[in-house]
Amino acid sequence: MKTIGIIGTGIMGTQLTCFFLSRGFKVIVKTHTENNTEEQIKKIGARINKYYPGGIPLNNIVITSDFKKLRDVDLVIDCIIENLTAKQELFQILEKTCSRKTIFASNTSSISINKIALPTDRLKQTVVIHFFNPVEKMHLVEINAGAITTVETIDKAVELVKSLGKTPIVMRNIPGGIVNRLLFASINEAGYMLEETGLTIKNIDAAMKLGLNHPMGLLELADFIGLDTVYNILTTFNSTIAGFKPPARIFEQMIEQGKLGRKTGSGFYEYKKE
């Protein structure tokens, strides 16, 4: 693989853009905006530069609002919002745009790749390639294949991940993969404990850091992820995984107050606005 398409310019889309550029790939970044102005492209470029020391190699990156520019990419990775309808609509556009050689991938944290690709005829060429934040530092990449994803597609995904110096773990049709299924159940339980036990935020987080040597507590991690994202993932897991608890009420309450974590400057903890 030589050319990668990235859909989305949020945190993960930006980090993946920089990571692939740093490994010598050509990257075509598809933005959400229908018609980019020069000013908007500069803003996106500045955001990418924050993650790319020394400045992005302009000869290897294209920032575009035109899906047609993705036609000949070897792999396209969906990094848009964690919403099934939005992802299905995206994949339907990609189906009409990209060549038959293109592998369709999603960095989804919770949604079944079978559901995402269902409205298309590309189920056999579609796979979750889930990188973790921060991309540069986290060694694991989960490759979560769909029910009929071909072995050839899986092998190409594994080969790519290994070439990036990451460690792939392959699974087939596991909602949320291994890490997020376990992690978000724990974050949700921390929310329930906060509501039901009288324990403080600091005590719950300190117990995880001191007792399990976690680098940050579960509620602090929820702030880092974004409480709106946490709530959406918990809602998805509750509807797709038998026995998974509904989101603790505290997450919805904080979202209603505009407290989404680090990105808004306030969540379970207070932060300087980014």
> Of 130, 122, 232, 230, which is closest to residue 171 (Cα–Cα)?
130
Q: Pick the catalytic residue: 82, 106, 112, 130?
A: 130
Nearest-angstrom CA–CA distance, 266 and 247: 20
CB atoms within 10 A of CB 242: 4
Specify whether the CB–CB gap between 26 and 2 falls below 8 A: yes
* 32 labelled catalytic: no
DSSP string, 67-93: GGGGTT-SEEEE-S-S-HHHHHHHHHH
Q: Pick the catalytic residue: 106, 107, 109, 232?
A: 109
Nearest-angstrom CA–CA distance, 247 and 254: 12
DSSP string, 205-256: HHHHHHHH--SS-HHHHHHHH-HHHHHHHHHHHHHHSTTPPPPPHHHHHHHH
* 109 labelled catalytic: yes
The amino acid at residue 5 is: G
Q: Pick the catalytic residue: 110, 142, 144, 220?
A: 142
* 112 labelled catalytic: no
Computed on alpha carbons and rounded to an integer, the radius of gyration of the chain in Å comes to 19
Nearest-angstrom CA–CA distance, 60 and 28: 8
* 180 labelled catalytic: yes
Q: Pick the catalytic residue: 106, 180, 188, 266?
A: 180
* Residues with catalytic function: 109, 130, 142, 180
